[in-house]
Structure 1
Amino acid sequence: MARCRHRGPKAISSSARPTPAPETIAKEGVARGTTKSFTLSSKQSTIYNPGLIRDDVAGCTNSSIMTTVTAPDDKSHMVVTTSHPGIWSRTIDVYVPAQYVRGTEAPFIVVGDGGSNAYKDLATTLDNLIAQRRVPPMIAIQIGNGGQDAQGSQRGREYDAVSGAYAQFVEREVLPLVEANAGVKLTKDPDGRATMGLSSSGVAAFTMAWFYPDLYHRVLAFSPTMVNQQWPHDPSLRGGAWEYHSAWTGPAGPHLISKAGVLTPAEPPGVPLIAAAPVKPIRFWFFGGDQDLFYPNPNIPDGMHDWTLSNALTAKVLAEKGYHYQFLFVRNAKHVDRPTIAQTLPSALEWVWKGYPIP
């Protein structure tokens, strides 16, 4: 029987509950922004139509993932047979600050996994920070994910793919609807555009800026999934997001491996993406916990599913390349730790937007 485990952003947070930052609490006399919402269906999409649906056991989240196996001779290649085309519908919530002047172009932040309880204080936090002139008056666009979690799901397809597809989905299909439905204009200046996410949407936030630094310069992520979650398997990048910071862990060197009964030379692991590329104009804030995730399925020991290690290795390679980044290693903190978010969200937003002009 499949074990019911959930890997995504609803994971239970640390038992230690520090006091939330004061900026997350509504204050008298502070002008409050408004939030407008609309829905988007896969029938309206070009990039993600059709979507993906995975047939899990009823009441057992991620049951397919807990029982799946990997391809012969490649533990980085998960085989998911229960995934098939389907229809998704998502909600998009648009926060518009009280200071927004209609008709003007505004800076904005794209927020993955929109609607998560982790963002319950986002509007209030922005109200306070904007009033204190610590961040610019910005539009915040929370985009719901396409559904489910991990390999074989629409959410996993969107967030864990190391490609520019999700950024193009946002640019071509979401942002025009935001402008039309919320009555705002969004800046084209990449220095005035930020991305934010948690878990897999956290690595998606980084991926958006990585593939399109001409669109996004500022990134904020909570427990980003810098591990091998990409699905379908991409032979050209076998380690998925793990390869941002580290080489693929599969067989390398002069050894021979068996593929369909034929012995062939093993392929080399390749150079990690961040190390191999020229420095990009990305400003990146992220945290990871000392009690973050390991992959729950013992059948997939690919060596590329340690969230705590992956975040530390990401910080290491960013430092070696000279990136502007801030990494918080949080003790007694679990995956997407809610108390940590409540304590750090205001300062993280302020750091991410440092250097941007505030009128």
Structure 2
Amino acid sequence: MKFSLKRTIFMQELQTVQRAISSKTTIPILTGVKIVVNEEGITLTGSNSDISIETFLSVQTEAAQLHIEQTGQIVLPARFFSEIVRRLSEEDFTLEVLENNQVAITSGKANFTINGLDGDSYPHLPVIESPNPIKLPVHVLSKLITETGFAVSQHESRPILTGVHFVLKDQKLLAVATDSHRLSQRVIPIEQAVENFDIVIPGKSLTELSRSFTDEEELVEISIMENQVLFKTETMYFYSRLLEGNYPDTNRLIPSSFNTEIEFYVPKLISAIERASLLTHEGRNNIVRLAITDNSVVLYGNSPEVGKVEESLNYEQVTGEPLEISFNPDYMKAALRAFGDMNVTVKFISAVRPFTIEPTENSIEFIQLITPVRTN
């Protein structure tokens, strides 16, 4: 096997597959990157027990200036190999497999020889073929992940809550995540006719997936098998295991009637909460308090060790009963950032019941739920 190409283009592909490579794996060969070269181009593969990523660099890619002299395959230690390529002084480099799986990497006056492993020893990726995969623009899927992924649980005590629940039903794709203190649910319409599904994808897999996309405008195909999901673009295959078990019925958690409603412009509300949490983060209790009356809305932050803050908030309109409620400012900021630059309506039942945040614009099916903090 022998090829030469531009280093920066190759590094982009290598960095993508490295997202799936862990130094902590119990299977030693999975600490490596698999390189397969044929007449059409180079395929790179990285994998761990949760995700596998495969990218393809075509000989047709002009920027790569890829020249293939000999086909073949090899597995190289990913972290070490990546450092070598990244630090080469010249833009072009050549890689050649020698005897006994040794590999020569040449660039300018530098010449490295490193030990590789036989490509046939690398585990095969699952074959996932769906006759009618769901197709979404990359930017739509990325936004869906951003809107829900932050709310997954970080604790393994309930593994199912570390994932995002995806349900396709009645031409609508629902994505919901909760860590039992907060919930984020987004629904988007699906125009094509595809088979219904109900799956839970690990939140960490989705984070790596969204970071791996390079073209926001291309389409991604989603195919599902028993315990795996495949996200496929023109140049990348991204596999993730699915979480086993039944996701809790989150619909019953979302209230339908409220006693107090208030409309805010998101960027202004985030700024105010950030100012309040400057003090609360320094104290033992990271809590802010919101007091709503007929003619004022005030945010309070108090840290006995540091001091206190009080700020009258700008709001669009308020209806309903007066209310005082306390909440975790970090949960609130994360929720608001997922909405972006828009107006939202925050709806309350009482000081001890979860409250919801929704876009004021009714055409967007997006709801978040936050459990308040009880203060005595």
Q: TM-score range by the shorter chain?
A: under 0.3
Task: State TM-score, norm by structure 1.
Answer: 0.22
Bigger Cα Rg:
2
The structure whose RCO (Cα within 8 Å, separation 6+) is larger is: 1
Pick the structure with more strand per residue.
2
Task: State TM-score, norm by structure 2.
Answer: 0.21
